[in-house]
Structure 1
Amino acid sequence: MKYHSKILFVLICCLSVIKITAQNPIIKTIFTADPAPLVHRDTLYLYTGHDVATEQDTNYKMADWHVFSTTDMVNWKDHGALLSPAVFSWATGDAYAAQCVEREGKFYWFVSTFHKKSEISSGGAAIGVAVSDSPTGPFKDAIGKALIINEMTTDMKHDWDDIDPTVFIDDDGQAYMFWGNGSCKWIKLKKNMIEMDGSITTFKPKNYIEGPWVYKRKGLYYLVYASEGTKPEMIEYCTSKSPKGPWKYKGIIQENMPNSFTTHPGIVDYKGQSYFFYHNGSLPTGGSYRRSICVDYMYYNKDGTIKKIEQTRNGVSKIN
């Protein structure tokens, strides 16, 4: 009897450890998607979408954008819903993928939603910009109109191709915005971050679907994106010696997500370590329309290529 009691005790201890160390998903209080990390001073801020679809819904319902923060990669502070499509007088619809970047003490939150039918637009997906003096707001519409509307891009025939903006500021101060569903588009931004500088360029990386994330590391530019996979999306990437391309395909870095058709990359270096954020449907009652953000370590080979990213339940360790 004592032997069986010991076995039971060991099993309980093991389950307790699993529960404690099962960090992923990192946000468990609400359903979150489309992670966009930003490091400001000593804090990592995470800008997210918010899934509010019921278990019975068969499409996305995304009410607003939230912000979370951490200084140790384990404990996350919820700053609440700091932006919604209602902030933009021209907008209607859901709060799709977005990214916030800092420039000269201001924080520019590039968001994708839908445009109301009007004299300048027949509707369709659009990209707007909100601005604040703080990474946690308050945010307001920076220009009072959409930065990108559906009529500006005509290569794709569906009206939801202008989504998922990612913004990158190069070492020389030039800012670029990449975005797109079905094809990838990019444009230079003026220094004020709220005006386009030049014309839109469109291209199609191998297997590209949506959700681009662009950054630079050791002189090499990376374009990471959600790809076709075997129907549920995977993450693949290209590299280039210039943000203007040409982009060379490098392969798959993350396989299909558990219980979610989509995924979305968010990449950041913080306190000497590279981190890869993504979403899946692994929370209880989760799924393709009730997603949750996870984080795992990201590693590079000596030649700059990205090592395959392992999806874990444990996530990452606490740092000081």
Structure 2
Amino acid sequence: MATGRGAARRAGKAIAALALAAGCWAAAPRADEAGNPLIPGYFADPSIVRHAGEWFVFATIDPWGGDTLGLWRSRDLRHWTFSTPNWPTKAAATSPTSGKSKVWAPSVVRGRDGRYWMYVSVGNEIWVGTAPHPAGPWRDANGGKPLVPADYRPGLHMIDAEAFVDDDGQAYLYWGSGLNWVNGHCFVVRLRPDMVTFDGEPRDVTPAHYFEAPFMLKRNGRYFLTYSWGNTTTDTYQVRYAVGDSPLGPFTEPEDAPILSTDRARGVISPGHHAVFRAGEQDLILYHRQALPFVAGGPVRRQIAVDRLEVDGDRLARVVPTRAGPPIAGAAPRRAPGRRASLRASAAEPGHDAAAAGDDDYATTWRAPAGAWLQADLGAVAAVGESLILPATPATPLRFTMSTSQDGRRWRQVAAPHAATGSPIRLRAPGAARYVRLDFPEGADVVEWRFAR
């Protein structure tokens, strides 16, 4: 990846272009400070668990979900590997009441039985699955039918389920949204030990300013129901909270103010649909926010970020969204540096110059139309070795051809046209060269192209 003063100037230009397109942006961070977004690519609605020293983040694949979920794995919260869980799929999780919506908004928790349980929205209804390990294999846990069908409460969305396991091992399930970005309702029910059967009738515990995406947090004997309000497709999406003495409510907002909302000065648009987790003694909030440059009414491209969450008695302090990201216990201080390379391209969309694919910043991407190429100059003829492509949409096949050159004029194709999914995509160019070029017949959106040292 690019380093040095020349690369810094190129990265600065890329971020300046984003600033112009987005309307406002804080001072560009150094490459080793760009910790947010935490994960490369367009994803939303994250859920996070830790197992055997490894972090697992389950998320919606943007735009608006896919036929599967996205699953990211990391041992240091800096280097991530993408895959898709075997369950749910749009085809497998369907019923007579299912709508056309795809797979989104997973909640994954560990039950008192030691197994992992997933509550997920498919077709505007809630399904439940289980697995012995976060990576699976997952299976349906409710006999091939939804846990909460789409018609459970007509006029409302039966989506965004979130499980909460209390200190005594008792599990609860929260869910609910509205229609047309208004009239959200939140339901809660106690779960029996099988993690599937409702223990009693669900309650409507909707607090003020609730729209969707509930997440329960317990601290110091108090229950904090956190949730999203507003519209994720505009700049109004935000995180709020209400407090209660029981996981079943009632819940009351302590003040009419969000704890996390749009902050254009920091390049943060419509943050929300979050999860809270602990690392060491620190509470952290994992959430999505709009990718930049943000265009209201444009494609929904969201990115996952993490910041500090402070609990003060029965209040949650306002979250300060950052570009650097917080220090996290057990996390690597920064991503491993790569080999120096300068990038240029045959074409790029506004705000998505070639330098964005070499700036070690997951907020920026090189995006270009069909037929474009991206070229790396390694500075001198040497063994090329391995490089990594981090695509912005790793669940979608990326089609490309790779060529090398010693002088930039005569080229040798070293990889036949092919398609790859996942992240990172590992490439190996045999022989010695100064230049490496990737040709994309269908266009591309690339977060990073890194060369191993």
TM range, normalised to the smaller chain? 0.7 to 0.9
Q: CA deviation digits over 1:82-129, x for unaligned, max 9? A: 432223243553112110111122111100121xxxxxxxxxx21001
Separation of aligned partners in 1, 2:140 and 2:165: 21
- After superposition, the Cα gap between the structure-2 partners of 1:141 and 1:74, relative to the gap in structure 1 and judged at 3 Å, is same
Separation of aligned partners in 2, 1:270 and 1:203: 30
Post-superposition offset of 1:304: 3.7
1:263 corresponds, among 267, 272, 275, to 272
Separation of aligned partners in 2, 1:130 and 1:79: 18
1:242 corresponds, among 246, 268, 272, to 246
Between stretches 60-69 and 308-317, larger displacement belongs to 60-69
Amino acid at match of 2:216: V
Which runs of structure 1 show a deviation greater than 4 angstroms over 4 or more consecutive aligned residues? Answer: 8-17, 257-262, 283-288
SS of the counterpart of 2:91? Answer: helix
RMSD: 2.8
- Please say if 1:128 is aligned against 2:127: yes
SS of the counterpart of 1:73? Answer: coil
Match of 1:19 in 2: 31
Between stretches 62-71 and 274-283, larger displacement belongs to 62-71
Between stretches 290-299 and 248-257, larger displacement belongs to 248-257
Between stretches 181-190 and 197-206, larger displacement belongs to 197-206
2:282 corresponds, among 273, 277, 280, to 273
Separation of aligned partners in 2, 1:151 and 1:246: 25
Separation of aligned partners in 1, 2:294 and 2:249: 42
Post-superposition offset of 1:166: 0.5
Q: Is the 8 A contact 2:243 2:314 kept in 1?
A: no
- Please say if 1:109 is aligned against 2:118: yes
Separation of aligned partners in 1, 2:7 and 2:193: 60
Aligned residues: 290
Post-superposition offset of 1:224: 0.5
Q: CA deviation digits over 1:167-191, x for unaligned, max 9? A: 0111222211000001101111111
Q: Is the 8 A contact 1:261 1:288 kept in 2?
A: no
Q: CA deviation digits over 1:134-187, x for unaligned, max 9? A: 111111111111100133224xx24xx110001011122221100000110111
Separation of aligned partners in 2, 1:277 and 1:109: 18
Separation of aligned partners in 2, 1:202 and 1:275: 28
Q: Is the 8 A contact 1:74 1:318 kept in 2?
A: no
SS of the counterpart of 1:265? Answer: strand
- Please say if 1:39 is aligned against 2:76: no
- Please say if 1:296 is aligned against 2:307: yes
Separation of aligned partners in 2, 1:34 and 1:10: 33
- Please say if 1:66 is aligned against 2:82: no
- After superposition, the Cα gap between the structure-2 partners of 1:136 and 1:309, relative to the gap in structure 1 and judged at 3 Å, is same
Q: CA deviation digits over 1:294-319, x for unaligned, max 9? A: 11111222x24111111111112354
- Please say if 1:88 is aligned against 2:93: yes
Separation of aligned partners in 1, 2:59 and 2:34: 21
Name the larger-Rg structure: 2
Match of 2:139 in 1: 140
TM-score norm. by structure 2 comes to: 0.59
Match of 2:190 in 1: 188
TM-score norm. by structure 1 comes to: 0.81
Separation of aligned partners in 2, 1:207 and 1:46: 27
SS of the counterpart of 1:151? Answer: coil
Q: Is the 8 A contact 1:73 1:317 kept in 2?
A: no
Match of 1:309 in 2: 319
Match of 1:216 in 2: 218
Q: CA deviation digits over 1:4-50, x for unaligned, max 9? A: xxxx789759959622321211222x310001112334333211111
Post-superposition offset of 1:293: 0.6
Separation of aligned partners in 2, 1:202 and 1:64: 30
Q: Is the 8 A contact 1:94 1:113 kept in 2?
A: yes
SS of the counterpart of 1:134? Answer: coil
- Please say if 1:163 is aligned against 2:167: no
SS of the counterpart of 1:20? Answer: helix
Q: CA deviation digits over 1:226-275, x for unaligned, max 9? A: 01389621110011111111212134210127575562111001222211
Separation of aligned partners in 1, 2:7 and 2:152: 62
Separation of aligned partners in 1, 2:75 and 2:280: 9
Separation of aligned partners in 2, 1:192 and 1:284: 45
- After superposition, the Cα gap between the structure-2 partners of 1:235 and 1:169, relative to the gap in structure 1 and judged at 3 Å, is same
Q: Is the 8 A contact 1:72 1:318 kept in 2?
A: no
Q: Is the 8 A contact 1:177 1:187 kept in 2?
A: yes
Q: Is the 8 A contact 2:262 2:268 kept in 1?
A: no
Separation of aligned partners in 2, 1:318 and 1:74: 11
Q: Which runs of 5+ in 2 are unaligned?
A: 13-27, 178-183, 331-453
SS of the counterpart of 1:204? Answer: coil
Between stretches 36-45 and 187-196, larger displacement belongs to 36-45
Q: Is the 8 A contact 2:261 2:270 kept in 1?
A: no
Match of 1:119 in 2: none
